[in-house]
Chain A
Amino acid sequence: MSLRDVLSFIFLLAGIFFFLAGTLGVLRFPDVYGRLHALTKADNLGLGLTVIGLMMQAGSWLEVLKLLLIWILVLLASATASFLIARTALRSGIPPWRP
C-alpha cells in the first residue's frame, strides 16, 4: 500500500463522513431551510473529498478532468436547486423556524 493509496483512503473516508453528517442533518434539523442548508453544503463537500480521493487513483489525465467536471456540475446544479427549493418554500408560506 503506497502513500498515494493511504492519502486516497483518507480523502474517501472524510468524504463519506460528510455524507453521514448531511443525512443526519436532514433527519434532525427542525425546518426545511435548516435541512436544506445541512444537506447541500455537507453533501457537496463530501462529494468533493470523494472526488479528490478518486482522482488520486485515476489512470489518466482525462479521467481526472472528467471527475472534476462532474464535481463542478454537481456544485452548480445543487446550489441552484437548493435556492429554488428554499424560495418556493418561502413563497408558499412556510415560516423559518424560531427557537
Chain B
Amino acid sequence: MNQLYIFLALFLLLNLAVGLVRVFRGPTSADRMLSAQLFGTTGVTILLLLAQGLANPMLRDIALVFVLLSILAVAAFVKRIKPETGGEADEP
C-alpha cells in the first residue's frame, strides 16, 4: 500500500510538470499566475500523500504552510498588477 502513495505522488508531480506548459505559453500574466494556484493545490496533495506513504506526519504541517504561501503569492500579484488604480479606490 505504501508504494501506491508514492506512485500517486509521482503521478501528480508529472501532472504539475505538464501544467508548467501554461506558464511557458500563457498569453497574459493572469494565465501565469493561475499556475501558482495549480502548484498550491497539487503541492498540498503531494505532501499529504507523502506524509501517509513515508509515515512522516510533519509533512502535513508543511502542507498547511504551502496553502498559506500560495494565497499570499496570489494576493501579492493582485496588488502589483495595477498600481495606478491604488487598490480599493474603484470598489463598486
A34 to chain B, nearest CB (A): 11
B11 to chain A, nearest CB (A): 6
Contact between chains at A39 and B34 (CB < 8 Å): yes
Residue-by-residue, is B27-67 near A (CB-CB < 8 Å gives 1, otherwise 0)? 01011011101101110110011001000010010011001
CA distance A87 to B79 in the complex (A): 12
A43 to B80, CA, bound (A): 26
CB of A66 within 8 A of CB of B60, answer yes
Bound Cα distance from A61 to B4, whole angstroms = 23
Number of interface residues, chain B, beta carbon within 8 A: 44
- A 42-93 contacts with B by CB, 8 A: 43-44, 46-47, 50-51, 54, 57, 63, 66-67, 69-70, 73-74, 77-78, 80-82, 84-85, 87-89, 91-92
What total of A-B pairs shows CB separation below 8 Å? Answer: 126
Given contacts A19-B15, A67-B60, A81-B71, contact A74 B44 (CB under 8 A): yes
**B67 x A73 contact (CB < 8 A):** yes
Bin the interface of chain A by size: 35 or more
What is the CB-to-nearest-CB distance from B67 to chain A, in angstroms, rounded to a whole number?
5
**B42: which A residues are within 8 A, CB to CB?**
19, 43
A interface with B by C-beta (< 8 Å): 5, 9, 12, 15-16, 19-20, 22-23, 26-27, 32, 35-36, 39-40, 43-44, 46-47, 50-51, 54, 57, 63, 66-67, 69-70, 73-74, 77-78, 80-82, 84-85, 87-89, 91-92, 94
